[in-house]
Amino acid sequence: MFKNRAGLRGRVLSLAVAGALGVMGTAIAAVPAGGPFHALAGATQLSRGDTIRNTVPLNQAIRISVVLKLRDEARMKSFLAKVGASNAPRVMSQAQLQNHLPSPAQAQAVADYLQRAGFSNVEIARNRMIVHATGSAATVQSAFQTSLVAVRTHDGRDAFANNTAIRVPASLQDTVQAVLGLQTVHTAHILARPRPASQIGVMGHDPLEFANIYDANSLAPATALNVAVWGWGSMAPTISDLKVFTQDHGLPKVRTRVVCTDTNGINGDTGEGLGGTTIGDPTCNGNVDQGSIEWDLDSQDIIGMTGGVKSMTFYAAYGGYNTTITDSLDEIVTPTVGEPLPKVINASFGECERYEDANQGGDGSLQADDALFQIAAAQGQTFSVSTGDSGADECGFGNPEDSASYPASSPWVVAVSGTTLRASSTTWARENVWIDSGGSPSSAEMAQPWQAGLTYGPFAGARGPDVAFDGNPSSGAIIYVSAYGGYIQVGGTSLSAPLFTGAWARIFQGNRSLGFAAPHLYALPGYVIHDVRSGNNRGYVARIGWDWASGLGSFDIGAAAAALAGQQ
């Protein structure tokens, strides 16, 4: 099913060719004692337009995150496979969960190695899933038997990356999942899109209208639920915009928190002061606005769809780098600075999964995040994730067969693709696939039991989208964005995801035993589902029932809640 992987891999440039540019001679200190080494991930692959400039200065400080493996992952997956089954446990107890987290001895062994290798600020995460440390480029190269080069990216950033494989001592290979922080070339991107030219028969909607259109208002508001928005950069503009939005709509003020991870950055000229997690500073240590239109879309549509929440926590992952997203994810899964554990989390961002999959030249952040998403699902959290706005070809290689966006392609989130919604201000009429909506088989992830039987064609068994809600900017949400001067109409699958976030929050508010959403969606009866039967995303065509472009489609929220309650 992954027949195109080799061909697609050949369409990107590997940093392994850097030797021809004279950078393979980077000075590497003596490798610390540790016996034989095991290759964990290959050289970072460059995108078209990225260029290698030089070697990385040996004294440049780098903050790394060594992510550990789950213990007995097979049993964890077996538990999650049964979450939607009748009479099966839906949430794992904390005592059970401890049996799957790395042991104190495993985490300490990693920390001890890093300390011997010369790293400072070595810290073990509360759940022992990550060991953080700060070291010079020379220390990094020595500890992981790799070399680092400076890169000018196609989008004008100064970055760095490993140009040879990342290795860990063989004694740690059964413990370490990934070593993140050795590349800053690949970053996630937001998916909000302002409205283009109008489309005949389609109109935009106030966020409060979606609750009527999708029948969320037949349920009580989600005012007892803690939800979250996940992104990066300063959240101060978004919190200010949310206040204006709620005031203008006569809604109660939303209780907000901002949790910032890696507030002091991940690379610099000194070896101290990197990392850091804070709560209460909406600017995240003076960061600039890096996408308030996105976080505005997320937050205002969640409030419109839910009718209100107990609290909304904004998680800011410094810069949207793979490593900082993982650090932020760990904080969402295991809060450490006093925020509540959110039950529904919105993520309207992503990147080509191949740049994260260790088996396809990525840095291993896909495998690292998958482990954390499994913990989240096991303890009843649901992540709602946009599938992307590049149609069926998220990776941009010109071959849309299996080109998905991560984290949407993780089997332990709900992947939400986009539709063109045709509706009045109160009543749903129909939906078709939005032509730019992400949606394709994954090149890296397998479908779980609740979805696998519905997949079809050459990629049967691969992971695909779960549901679809309005995403076309022409039928998008009218939100307040101060950076754009006031109310504007915005779409993208960045709208689709918060609509599902709000939908599930309202369902979960009245049925707390449900836990992780995905398996339950596949148990919904056909009469509550809005099957998307027309349209395409320039790769896959909608068809009756589940399809690669739109998953199951959208659904009537009130009817879905009643159906799920009746199945207990």
Please give the positions annotated as active site: 294, 298, 494
User: Closest Cα partner for 417 from 455, 454, 456, 469?
Assistant: 469
Distances (CA, A) of 61 to 139, 266, 284: 9, 8, 20
C-alpha span between 390 and 190 (Å, rounded): 12
Tokens in use for 134?
A: 């700060």
C-alpha span between 45 and 354 (Å, rounded): 10
Tokens in use for 499?
A: 């609509």
C-alpha span between 326 and 320 (Å, rounded): 10
Tokens in use for 562?
A: 């009643």
Question: How do 120-124 and 189-190 pair as beta strands?
Answer: unpaired
C-alpha span between 105 and 121 (Å, rounded): 19
Positive or negative, the Cα torsion across 9, 406, 414, 343?
Answer: positive
C-alpha span between 98 and 95 (Å, rounded): 5
Instruction: State whether residue 9 is helix, strand or coil.
Output: helix
C-alpha span between 199 and 412 (Å, rounded): 35
155 in Cβ contact with 396 (< 8 Å): no
Tokens in use for 351?
A: 């990147």
C-alpha span between 243 and 241 (Å, rounded): 5
Exposed (0-12), middle (13-18) or buried (19+): which is 456, by Cβ within 10 Å? middle
Distance in angstroms between the alpha carbons of the first and the last residue of the chain? 37
Tokens in use for 435?
A: 């032509």
Exposed (0-12), middle (13-18) or buried (19+): which is 57, by Cβ within 10 Å? middle
Exposed (0-12), middle (13-18) or buried (19+): which is 566, by Cβ within 10 Å? exposed
C-alpha span between 473 and 203 (Å, rounded): 9
The residue whose two tokens read 């995460």 is: 125
538 in Cβ contact with 340 (< 8 Å): no
167 in Cβ contact with 144 (< 8 Å): yes
Helix H or strand E segment including 529: strand 529-530
Angle at alpha carbon of residue 549, lines to 82 and 429, rounded to 5°: 100
User: Closest Cα partner for 183 from 21, 40, 63?
Assistant: 63
C-alpha span between 312 and 333 (Å, rounded): 15
C-alpha span between 213 and 39 (Å, rounded): 52
